[in-house]
Structure 1
Amino acid sequence: MTIRTSKSILVVIVNYRTADLVTDCLRSLEAEVDSLPGIQVVVVDNASGDGSVDRLVAAIVENLWEGWASILPVERNGGFAAGNNAAIQPALEAAAPPDYVLLLNPDTVVHGGALRTLYDFMEAKPEVGIAGSRLEDPDGTPQRSAFRFPSVLGEIENGLRFGVVTKLLHRWVVAPPVPEVACRTDWVSGACLLVRREVFDAVGLLDADYFMYYEEVDFCKRAAQAGWPCWFVPEARVVHLVGQSTRVETGVVARKRQPTYWFASRRRYFQTYLGKYATWLTDLAWASSFASYRVRRVVQRKPDTDPFGLLGDFVRHNLLRSCRSHRVIRPSAASETAS
């Protein structure tokens, strides 16, 4: 027998020109709504300008989802954090704010019972502030979704990609192998992230000065500093169609240039928590390590799967600018995409 609960969960999905993906995501949430009747889903449309709002409204009406799903159009694409905040802030200021907020990517399909599993975990561990699900490919292959906070040693390991160094620095590897059991971790992917309301009370909203990327790292960092730890819950399984909402994928597509907002977000995060001078040293360490890897890759004839021009772009956007005051680079909606 299904256990009913009076607790409420606000699910926020940020859409930018991915209406079909959002519709599939909403369809996967139907069973979760039956299990957790306190769920309300808000789809924030980040000024898509492609008819997404009309298509999503039609899908909600056609599928009889009006009781639990709604669309919130915003006038400007302010990025992932700003889009989520557009739904979270008024909900938290309401007379009856939600007990939990779930950030959910539009390019996800929720396995049956996943949200129930996250909810039950959080109810059983009131000291936990954030919980993330296991993300996986459509064939069930797990994706790395439980991470450590970035550090100087972690950046060296990430740049070198050398087995011996990775073993020596295993405690600082940002993306370790996927845990098989629930465990505490530094941060989890924002593709599926459940947050207790008290965390927002303690640290505020997502930092909207991150256009995209690193916003969930920053949020989990602030939560940890406020005494709200983050856990990874692999029993909650969610399919993540990597890159479908951002157009940043693996393989051939990964040879596209890294978007400028990725560099801006990375610079902002490191300067916030390390300071300007340490950030410059960290950038130098990564660039040197990555340059060494690039030489070794050619000698060993390994396939090139890194974004095109990554080293040069990194030097220009980060290494040469990390001593200056950080500022956010906001792409135009016509030149960059973000959900």
Structure 2
Amino acid sequence: MMQQSPRLLVIILNYRTAEMTLRAAEAALADMPQTHAELVIVDNDSGDGSAALLAQEIAARGWGAGNRVRLITSPRNGGFGAGNNIAMRAGMSDGAAPDFVHVVNSDAFLDRGCIGTLLDHLQNHPRAGLAGSHVRGEDDLPHATAFRFPSAAGELEAAARLGPLTRLLSSAVVAPPLPEEAAEVDWVAGASVMMRWDMLADVGLFDEAYFLYYEETDLCLRAARAGWDCWYVPQARCVHVGSVSTGMKEWRRMPRYWFDSRHRYFAKNHGRAYAALATCARLAGGGLHRLRCLLTGRQPEDAPGFYRDLAAHALTARRAAPADQDPSRSPATEDR
């Protein structure tokens, strides 16, 4: 039976966004329970003085008292999953494992009550392994954060952007309308997601072979295959600026690591043949979209060179790591 005051570890990963990380930490601290809750900030080898600034501010603000806030510096930038795994493997300040872990982006600011709502939901649903927040932008518009698992049909639908095709493949739409009440979903975005430690001990931490993107999708799929549920909880709310660390808003072309992550997700979880099928479906959908734009005079909505880069990547992608070599599994994880 869950103890009255569960141990909660909140994690914020910093990469060259120290000022925003401090703002995110301040919001998280204001919402955290007063006991049995700690915040770990991981500096992911920023190399820009972030670690020194964070250490200075943690001390100046008195956040370190009683190990309420700790700073861990990573010797390398291994990506989103690797950085969060460092904090999860470190556990609570006394060396014990937490009961729940709340991953919060450095550009996500929790509303009051967000943590308590997610905690209550996980405690009231024993097979819930993950619970994600409602996320809105600074313009107050909701972000898509509750999804179905990617599939070849979903790749075709998303790329084609055709109403009749969307209706035909409605069950494969990756980002359906957000539920208005708490609901089971396939996966949730990692901007604000709380996870049960028993689930993590069962299926492993984030797969560190993903540098960025698809790591939370992969984790949710592993959890689902092991019998754990994933929930979207709209009553738990936060604001998310988005793409601050990655600079995605300024990208003119998708980076190699996005294609690497996409390929790994399909190849690792469904096999190399299915990964090739998913890529063909994406290319076919993109072709339909371009044809429609040509006929109607509309501008294509994809990033410049996207399909050329996707096709080139598919021809050169390395073989995905076997599941038994998944870097998310480690003795440190399994022994806790």
With the length of structure 1 as denominator, give the TM-score of the two structures.
0.89
* Pair 1:272-2:268 in alignment: yes
* Pair 1:325-2:314 in alignment: no
The offset of 1:303, in angstroms, is 4.1
List gaps (5 residues or longer) in structure 2. Answer: 322-336
- CA distance, structure 1, for counterparts of residue 138 and residue 245 of structure 2: 16
SS of 1:234 mapped into structure 2: strand
- CA distance, structure 2, for counterparts of residue 82 and residue 94 of structure 1: 22
Distance 1:92 1:62, change over 3 A: closer
Q: Which moved more, 1:288-297 or 1:152-161?
A: 288-297
The offset of 1:210, in angstroms, is 0.6
- CA distance, structure 1, for counterparts of residue 24 and residue 30 of structure 2: 12
Task: Give CA-to-partner distance per residue, 1:195-238, whole Å, 9 cap, x none.
Answer: 10101111111100111111000000001111111000000011
- Assess if the C-alpha contact under 8 Å between 1:13 and 1:105 holds in 2: yes
> Which AA in structure 1 matches 2:320?
H
- CA distance, structure 1, for counterparts of residue 254 and residue 23 of structure 2: 27
In the TM superposition, what are the counterparts of 1:26-41 in structure 2 within 5 Å?
26-33=25-32, 35-41=33-39
* Pair 1:54-2:52 in alignment: yes
Tell me how large the CA RMSD over aligned residues is: 1.8
Q: What is the identity percentage for the equivalent residue pairs of Structure 1 and Structure 2?
A: 40
- Assess if the C-alpha contact under 8 Å between 1:268 and 1:326 holds in 2: yes
SS of 1:314 mapped into structure 2: helix
- Assess if the C-alpha contact under 8 Å between 1:291 and 1:311 holds in 2: no
- CA distance, structure 1, for counterparts of residue 79 and residue 160 of structure 2: 31
Task: Give CA-to-partner distance per residue, 1:122-142, whole Å, 9 cap, x none.
Answer: 111112111000111113211
Residue equivalent to 1:176: 176
- CA distance, structure 1, for counterparts of residue 82 and residue 72 of structure 2: 13
Instruction: Name the count of aligned residue pairs.
Output: 317
- CA distance, structure 2, for counterparts of residue 92 and residue 188 of structure 1: 25
Q: Which of residues 42, 45, 69 is equivalent to 2:43?
A: 45
- CA distance, structure 1, for counterparts of residue 310 and residue 165 of structure 2: 22
- CA distance, structure 1, for counterparts of residue 94 and residue 165 of structure 2: 51
- Assess if the C-alpha contact under 8 Å between 1:146 and 1:175 holds in 2: yes
- Assess if the C-alpha contact under 8 Å between 2:38 and 2:92 holds in 1: no
The offset of 1:64, in angstroms, is 2.1
- CA distance, structure 1, for counterparts of residue 93 and residue 271 of structure 2: 33
> Which AA in structure 2 matches 1:240?
H
Residue equivalent to 1:337: none
Q: Which of residues 253, 259, 282 is equivalent to 1:257?
A: 253
- CA distance, structure 2, for counterparts of residue 257 and residue 27 of structure 1: 34
The offset of 1:152, in angstroms, is 1.1
Residue equivalent to 2:102: 102
> Which AA in structure 2 matches 1:7?
P
Residue equivalent to 1:131: 131
- CA distance, structure 2, for counterparts of residue 231 and residue 42 of structure 1: 24
List gaps (5 residues or longer) in structure 1. Answer: 328-339
Distance 1:36 1:301, change over 3 A: farther
- Assess if the C-alpha contact under 8 Å between 1:13 and 1:43 holds in 2: yes
- CA distance, structure 1, for counterparts of residue 187 and residue 290 of structure 2: 29
- CA distance, structure 1, for counterparts of residue 153 and residue 92 of structure 2: 38
Task: Give CA-to-partner distance per residue, 1:293-312, whole Å, 9 cap, x none.
Answer: 12322433334443221111
Q: Which of residues 302, 307, 332 is equivalent to 1:311?
A: 307
Distance 1:301 1:66, change over 3 A: farther
Residue equivalent to 1:78: 78
- CA distance, structure 1, for counterparts of residue 276 and residue 93 of structure 2: 40
Q: Which runs of 4+ in 1 moved over 4 A?
A: 92-95
Task: Give CA-to-partner distance per residue, 1:46-68, whole Å, 9 cap, x none.
Answer: 11000001111122222221132
Residue equivalent to 1:25: 24
Distance 1:202 1:186, change over 3 A: same
- CA distance, structure 2, for counterparts of residue 125 and residue 285 of structure 1: 37
- Assess if the C-alpha contact under 8 Å between 1:212 and 1:262 holds in 2: yes
Residue equivalent to 1:15: 14
Q: Which moved more, 1:63-72 or 1:177-186?
A: 63-72
- CA distance, structure 1, for counterparts of residue 10 and residue 92 of structure 2: 13
- Assess if the C-alpha contact under 8 Å between 2:289 and 2:300 holds in 1: no
* Pair 1:202-2:202 in alignment: yes
- Assess if the C-alpha contact under 8 Å between 2:9 and 2:92 holds in 1: no
- CA distance, structure 2, for counterparts of residue 298 and residue 8 of structure 1: 57
Distance 1:166 1:59, change over 3 A: same
- CA distance, structure 2, for counterparts of residue 36 and residue 117 of structure 1: 15
- CA distance, structure 2, for counterparts of residue 24 and residue 223 of structure 1: 31
- CA distance, structure 1, for counterparts of residue 46 and residue 31 of structure 2: 27
With the length of structure 2 as denominator, give the TM-score of the two structures.
0.90
- CA distance, structure 2, for counterparts of residue 130 and residue 51 of structure 1: 34
Task: Give CA-to-partner distance per residue, 1:82-136, whole Å, 9 cap, x none.
Answer: 1011111131897521000111111111111111110111111112111000111
